[in-house]
Amino acid sequence: MNAADLPPTNGDNPDWDSGTAELGHILKPGQLDLSHKVILYLDDITVSFDGFRALNKLSLTIDAGELRCIIGPNGAGKTTMMDVITGKTRPDEGTVFFGQTIDLTRLSEPEIAHMGIGRKFQKPTIFENHTVFENLELAMKTDKRVWRSLFATLDSAAGDRIAETLQLIRLTTDADRLAGLLSHGQKQWLEIGMLLMQEPKLLLLDEPVAGMTDEETERTGELFLSLAGRHSLVVVEHDMAFVKQLGGKVTVLHEGSVLAEGSLEEVQADQRVIEVYLGR
């Protein structure tokens, strides 16, 4: 799989390079400001559930175009972190900024999705009673207000776009099948395809290769690598071989905050990380 297979996503999107002007720059409302080459700032985030601190003063930054892996034992706060970024959970303390200007703690889930953050759940979440084609159609980046949906028709450009994504996720022959009838790995791919249809700038992927065969896992890794650069990706994963294949910077979460950060070799050599994973 190479870049030519990919749908035309954000490569030539003008607001991807926004804010590089020498003397200040003007942003339209909702436009992403990447002038400092950082796409996501989490600062001092604390989230408590009934006294349990799921996130404890978590601070993390993701660079534009980066492919970041997040690992950590169960209960380290990985999924809660994604909930905070996507607006599902409001932090008790701390700030979340998308680019320099967009405060995510003040936006709802659909608004955050519109800003350009796509999320893949741990359990594949697709529309099982819709066909594969319809799943992609619903996810496609477009005006998603009621009035538009009432009168929407699919033009040929949109049809082409869906066809390209179908090819990319290797579900072309399954386009008219109900999504609920796909295999587990195919469902994972369909959800990734839906994410791509949204043309997000930041993709959050929660255990994207769980339940996939080795071959599927490897193909997924290739896909992610080809997306990095044009998109920023945050991958939560337990599969160390997969993390190794992705090769980017790794962040280890433990008890709701960052324990270590660096290349996979560095964090694997870190004494505290070994303690956390192996127990004392």
Binding site residues, other proteins, CB under 8 A: 86, 88, 108-110, 113-114, 118-119, 121, 125-131, 133-134, 137-139, 141, 144-146, 149-156, 158-159, 176, 178, 180-181, 194, 198
In the complex, the smallest distance separating the C-beta of residue 192 from other proteins, rounded to whole angstroms, is 13
Q: Which is nearer to other proteins, 28 or 280 (CB)?
A: 28
Q: Looking at this protein, which amino acid is placed at residue 21?
A: A
Structure tokens at 57: 């003063």
Rounded to the nearest 10 degrees, how much is the dihedral formed by the CA atoms of 126, 129, 131, 135?
-30
* Contact criterion met (CB below 8 Å) for 53 and 257: no
Q: Which is nearer to other proteins, 198 or 257 (CB)?
A: 198
Rounded to the nearest 10 degrees, how much is the dihedral formed by the CA atoms of 264, 265, 269, 273?
0
Angstrom distance (rounded) from CA 59 to CA 267: 17
In the complex, the smallest distance separating the C-beta of residue 265 from other proteins, rounded to whole angstroms, is 34
Q: Which is nearer to other proteins, 11 or 159 (CB)?
A: 159
In the complex, the smallest distance separating the C-beta of residue 238 from other proteins, rounded to whole angstroms, is 22
Burial class of residue 222 in the structure, from the number of CB atoms within 10 Å of its CB (0-12 exposed, 13-18 middle, 19+ buried): middle
Backbone angles phi, psi at 262, to 5 degrees: 155, -165
Q: Which is nearer to other proteins, 162 or 276 (CB)?
A: 162
Q: Which is nearer to other proteins, 35 or 172 (CB)?
A: 172
SS3 212: coil
In the complex, the smallest distance separating the C-beta of residue 204 from other proteins, rounded to whole angstroms, is 9
In the complex, the smallest distance separating the C-beta of residue 255 from other proteins, rounded to whole angstroms, is 26
